[in-house]
Amino acid sequence: MRFRAPGVLLAAALLASLATMAEGAPTPVIAGPPEVIATAGRTSTAATRHRRRTRRRLPPPGGVYARNAILLDPTTGEVLFEKNSSRSVPIASLTKLMTAMVFLEQKPDLTREVEVTQTELSGAGHTQLRRGEHVPLGELLHMSLMCSDNVATRVIARESGLPGSDFIARMNRKAVELGLTGSRFTEFTGLDEHNVSTASDVARLLHAAANEPLIQQITTTRSYEFRTARRWHAINNTNRLLYSRYEIMGGKTGFILEAGYCFATWVRTDGRDLIAVVLGAPTNATRFADAVRLLQKAQAPPVTQSQP
């Protein structure tokens, strides 16, 4: 058996000590056979990863991941929470709330069938509609508001009786009438990042739109089916809160890369109306979780100070 010189052992201990200092924190000494030491190391690493994952899952200060948000009581106008709520940002398909209001102002015959053309299909993204298909205007309005179908939205704007430029001008005049000072519209669907608004303006927009009985009815419908001469269409609402415990009075989702995930909802809970808007959330699920956290803030009982 060979024995190491004391000087060699001392040098090895010194190097280990320096390596520990380079990591920034002392490493606890673990005594025992090699298999026990290895297991302890794995457990420590797993615990560290778990702590890191837990930290990432916690909501940020203020409770929402979205870049812009607001929670307000539409009856009193009281703002219960806000985060960059006056900053104008792209709002994606939340635009369709304004499009629907301007469309309905023209008193259209919702039973009239109109043709889908290649003009509406070009660059519009996913749709169930096909070129040459004839669809009643009322069914297209459902597709626009429930599943954010851009083709359907373009068709109802085309068939409104207003030229496209006049329709957009009317959207902007309507914004002024509603006091939406941070809002500007350049097209009908929200695909253009230059359609901008603020969280505060969107809350007012949703309140005005959902006060229209037909818009409220459509935006609170979970699923809808209809048939054209070609085939059946089945559409589902993208608002996940329709499957929650809240009574939904209206809502709309939206997404483009420049806007992030957007969501506006009007709920009635415990006899109180609340509107929550989140803009620029990082994921589809996050926008709904952010909205729920805001609603829970309003429902939380006030913290009372204990008397000495």
Q: Which residues are catalytic?
A: 93, 96, 148
**CB of 172 within 8 A of CB of 182?**
no
Task: Kindly report the backbone phi and psi dihedral angles of residue 148, in degrees, each rounded to the nearest multiple of 5, phi listed first.
Answer: 55, 40
Residue 102's contacts (CB-CB under 8 Å, 6 or more residues apart) are 160, 162, 167, 170, 171, 174
Q: How far apart are CA 10 and CA 12, in angstroms?
A: 5
Task: Kindly report the backbone phi and psi dihedral angles of residue 224, in degrees, each rounded to the nearest multiple of 5, phi listed first.
Answer: -155, 140
Residue 70's contacts (CB-CB under 8 Å, 6 or more residues apart) are 79, 81, 82, 83, 85, 199, 200, 202, 203, 275, 276, 277
Look at the block and give the residue holding tokens 């929470």. Answer: 81
